[in-house]
Amino acid sequence: MSRPKPLSGFPEFLPGPRMVEQFVLDRLRETFELHGFASIETRAVEPVETLTKGGEIDKEVYTVRRIHADDGVPDELGLHYDLTVPFARYVLENAGQLQFPFRRYQIQKVWRGERPQEGRYREFTQADIDIVGSGELAAHHDVEIPLVALDAMERLHTDLGLPPVLMRVNNRRLAQGFYTGLEIGDTAAVLRIVDKLDKVGPDRVSELLVSEASLTEAQAKSCVSLATISSADETFVDEVRRLGVHTDELEAGMEQLAELVRTAGRYAPGRLVADLKIARGLDYYTGTVYETELQGYESLGSVASGGRYDALASDGRTTYPGVGFSVGVTRILAPLLGKQRLTVTRPVPTCVLVAVDAEETRAAAVAVASQLRQRGIPTEVAPKADKFGKQIRYADRRSIPYVWFGAGANDEVKDIRSGDQVGADPASWQPPSEDLRPRVVENWDE
Amino acid sequence: MSRPKPLSGFPEFLPGPRMVEQFVLDRLRETFELHGFASIETRAVEPVETLTKGGEIDKEVYTVRRIHADDGVPDELGLHYDLTVPFARYVLENAGQLQFPFRRYQIQKVWRGERPQEGRYREFTQADIDIVGSGELAAHHDVEIPLVALDAMERLHTDLGLPPVLMRVNNRRLAQGFYTGLEIGDTAAVLRIVDKLDKVGPDRVSELLVSEASLTEAQAKSCVSLATISSADETFVDEVRRLGVHTDELEAGMEQLAELVRTAGRYAPGRLVADLKIARGLDYYTGTVYETELQGYESLGSVASGGRYDALASDGRTTYPGVGFSVGVTRILAPLLGKQRLTVTRPVPTCVLVAVDAEETRAAAVAVASQLRQRGIPTEVAPKADKFGKQIRYADRRSIPYVWFGAGANDEVKDIRSGDQVGADPASWQPPSEDLRPRVVENWDE
């Protein structure tokens, strides 16, 4: 086999960057579990008919079939393109055995057969959280979910050095109530056009609202005014009121959004703004909607988003409302790792290399390594009996910080960074805790 | 959508069993890292031509294509059916950026489009470790790899209550050297027939060796005698010697196997036997080969296996020899979880439920929960303001051990198992460490 080439759209990491990814996934899992979310995994495949019901994404489904399937037999399975469709199916399938409200997180790969381009992948990892109720789900979960997401993203920032986030939040009820107050009928059309505000600007949105959604000039002006409101505190409420529209739905939506802004101000100050232009492409959101940018990486677009859907799933008798959030892990990491903004202190777990000076003493080296591992110290034994200098070089090339010499006879351990070498007992020696595991290093200065 | 049905061959777990799986994967990862193995993940797909080169498995490949691909365009990608083929490709692709010997572990799903049956899955999780060299790889790694695997399996036994294992080991050089000493030409044919020993018995194997591999009666008898040798210590060496065959290759293979048996006796007593009938189906093994049974679950067959291959990969100029081991995680867990041999103390991470007595006090409950989480205690806030009894019932249905009452005003925490309720400070209260996280419980008595 000659040297294979990477497949476009299918990112793979070298061991160092993969370690950063592991740390990120560990941190996400830890945070989700601290908030009481249980893990599930769903199979990679769903019936194609389930996957293609959704609308636009169906063009990107990868179908799957056995290589010796008869020609002419249609593909019946496809790879999931998100974690929401399989989760909805899982809830229906297992409803009798789940406790509602059911809180789950799910960290898995998803696949989309789209044209690969900057920031788009054909295989990528998502980390989703959702709370789903049976029949009903209280509105306070709309406040809870983005705070869990912010807690997770903040840990990635403070613990691992990822950029801080800015979450932009809106509420579909607010917009819906406002439009109804203006006596606009086709609110979905308005949402779709308002969603283009950043791309085409307020004047063009106004024009489109008139020409495509049949709004009056005055209605269009009000809609644009609403969409340009944004505040990091509750002042957005007064700004909306000044537009002179009043409906119960609008009030309810504003109160929900204000509650979220207030709570976020307490637990995640500076990380969340009410931004009334946020619409999200997907039609099934019915309450709060969220988007999240990485500060300094706004061009990546939203790297984490979600919202409230009143019908995540339904089996005809019972409807399961949900509120959730999805973090695009690959979308966040691939650019940061590609530019080496985040690296690790070493691309191997190994903290100690036990040197072997002659093959006859390998057993003694293996015994020392075993003792160190029993106390949680990642250790490997030198692959080759060799001279002092070569053993050091082996460790150095992998950034392994310690080399153990004289195993079982004259035990000494050398910190190859400082050159310090001291006598050590394999039954009790402990490295400084910051050396025990590889750590993530930020490189923002280059 | 009406209630969906499971897809045969694609196992999915409820949150409780999934938690057991997570603990198993965590333990495997931890052990592999303690031995200095770095994680990699490869994409789910490989070019079909790579996947179908191998031989028998190619019938089971799942091909993948975009749903709107032109008819008549052949599928070019398939889902990987093991982690060895993608690892070999990864090594070739990244050889210039890896340090050899390269130690990696890889825990991922694989897919095989085979007919589903007891113990066979179409999607399942494997956990692989391999050490691969560039050009050469020392023989002591043949001893190291099974010991890492035994270390991992032993932790699953002692920490999580999985059954203990018995590893059966052989060495291809030993068999090869023996056959050569008997002047047998087609040793591959002999290996294939000897592999059937357990299924058809020694007499039938003797017959087949004569009729299908053209051996003399005497040669066949010797081969069967070799294959029936098995010992938990080095006595197998004397038993082989008594068969009166002597070649350097045989001696080298015996010495390797004896070294492994000796070392395993020290680090994993009672868990490994030399068993000279083990051949493994796959042709590429060239040195040590291993199979592993779960004690008491022998009918599952080998749940973890591997061996030495002198050419894991080659780019024409450089050959990469390797030695590895693959644990069939789903194969081990699905039966144990299905029979509820392993369960968890609770199917949610939550240790504390903070009660809410009226919606107006929710903010105080959220504040207490946040304080507890900051100290690493998984906590959720009651979804509904409700009476004392209903809050207890909510926790009880999920086996959450503690309910926190009077948040921010009159803080008390109740152990709902004992009924004990005591005053508590959210800034310092700590549950007993055995309650902090869910634990695996063994149920062998039913």
Contact A180, A172 (CB under 8 A): no
State pLDDT tens for residues B81-120: 999 999 999 999 999 999 999 999 999 999 998 777 777 8
For testing contact with chain B, the best of A123, A140, A314 (most B CBs within 10 A):
A140
The highest-level CATH class for domain B15-343 is: alpha beta
Q: How many CB atoms lie within 10 A of CB B83?
A: 26
C-alpha count within 13 angstroms, C-beta hemisphere, residue B53? 12
Whether the pLDDT of residue A139 is over 70: the answer is yes
State pLDDT tens for residues B324-383: 999 999 999 988 998 889 999 999 999 999 999 999 999 999 999 999 999 999 999 999
How large a percentage of chain B has pLDDT more than 70?
Answer: 95
Question: Nearest-CA neighbor of B237 among B245, A259, B4?
Answer: B245
State pLDDT tens for residues A304-326: 999 999 888 899 899 999 999 99
Whether the pLDDT of residue A355 is over 70: the answer is yes
Residue B284 — very low, low, confident or very high, per pLDDT cuts 50/70/90?
confident
For testing contact with chain A, the best of B10, B12, B147, B402 (most A CBs within 10 A):
B12
Contacts of A93 in chain B (CB under 8 A): 3-6
Q: Give the model's pLDDT for residue B55.
A: 59
Q: How many CB atoms lie within 10 A of CB B172?
A: 24
Please give the structure tokens belonging to residue A413.
């351990």
What fold is seen in the domain A15-44+80-175+224-235+260-343?
Answer: BirA Bifunctional Protein; domain 2 (3.30.930)
Tokens 């291993």 sit at which residue?
Answer: B290
Whether the pLDDT of residue A411 is over 90: the answer is yes
Among candidates A12, A43, A398 on the partner chain, residue whose Cβ is nearest the Cβ of B12: A43
Q: Rounded to the nearest 5°, which phi and psi values hold at B126?
A: -115, 150
- Say how far apart CA A428 and CA B356 lie, in whole Å: 49
State pLDDT tens for residues B393-421: 999 999 999 999 999 999 999 999 999 99
Q: Do B40 and A15 touch (CB under 8 A)?
A: yes
Q: Give the model's pLDDT for residue B54.
A: 61
Q: Give the model's pLDDT for residue A279.
A: 78
For residue A376, the SS3 value is coil
Q: Do A4 and B373 touch (CB under 8 A)?
A: no
In the predicted model, what is the mean pLDDT of chain A?
A: 93
Please give the structure tokens belonging to residue A300.
């990546």
Contact A178, A251 (CB under 8 A): no
Contacts of A39 in chain B (CB under 8 A): 15, 18-19, 22
How large a percentage of chain A has pLDDT more than 90?
Answer: 82
Whether the pLDDT of residue B17 is over 70: the answer is yes
The highest-level CATH class for domain A348-442 is: alpha beta
Domain boundaries, chain B: 15-343, 348-442
Q: Which residues contact A439 (CB under 8 A, 6 or more apart)?
A: A344, A345
Q: Give the model's pLDDT for residue B339.
A: 87
CB pairs A-B closer than 8 Å = 233
Which chain A residue's Cα is nearest to B151? A370
Please give the structure tokens belonging to residue B396.
């009880």
Q: ipTM, 2 decimals?
A: 0.95
C-alpha count within 13 angstroms, C-beta hemisphere, residue B281? 6
- Say how far apart CA A286 and CA B96 lie, in whole Å: 51
Q: Give the model's pLDDT for residue A441.
A: 94
Contact A411, A425 (CB under 8 A): yes
Residue B225 vs residue B445, higher pLDDT: B225
Q: Do A98 and B15 touch (CB under 8 A)?
A: yes
